[in-house]
Amino acid sequence: MFISLDFLYMPSRDPAAEARYFCETLGANLVFAIEAFGTRVAMVKLTDEAPALLFAGHLDGERPILVYRVADLEAASAELREAGCEVGEPFGIPHGPCAEITTPGGQRVAIYELTRPEVPERLAGRRDF
């Protein structure tokens, strides 16, 4: 059912500072730094392989969200519910529809369907901050 772990959404008070630290100190590559809808989000990659790290100013809580790609969000959500998982209502991320899974231990996991494959190329290189 799960195709890949594509993103780690990291709650951040200062996405610009965190992206700068990861790039300058850890050698990450800045993919984009976007300011829109009253928030800032910066994506960095530590390796050429997934997952990318997204420092998100709008994310509540202290724990990151592990975001896994699935082929079909509706089918995966139904399968997970059938297995006893609590799957939240779908919401949107730039790459497509997404839904968070409630876990008994409080870990943050979400699934998404890549319905807008052009988004990574469109966002790459954007520097709003």
Q: Give the mean pLDDT of 32-54.
A: 96
State the CATH number of the domain containing residue 23.
3.10.180.10
pLDDT tens string 67-96? 999 999 999 999 999 999 999 999 999 999
Asked if the structure places residue 69 within a domain, the reply is yes
Residues 6+ apart with CB under 8 A from 29: 23, 44, 45
Asked if the structure places residue 128 within a domain, the reply is no
Q: What is the pLDDT of residue 64?
A: 97
Per the structure, the count of domains in the chain is 1
pLDDT tens string 13-40? 999 999 999 999 999 999 999 999 899 9
- Predicted TM-score (pTM) of the model is 0.92
Asked if the structure places residue 129 within a domain, the reply is no
Asked if the structure places residue 80 within a domain, the reply is yes
Q: What is the helix, strand, coil percentage profile of the chain, to 5? A: 20, 45, 40
Asked if the structure places residue 37 within a domain, the reply is yes
Domain of residue 68, residue span: 2-123
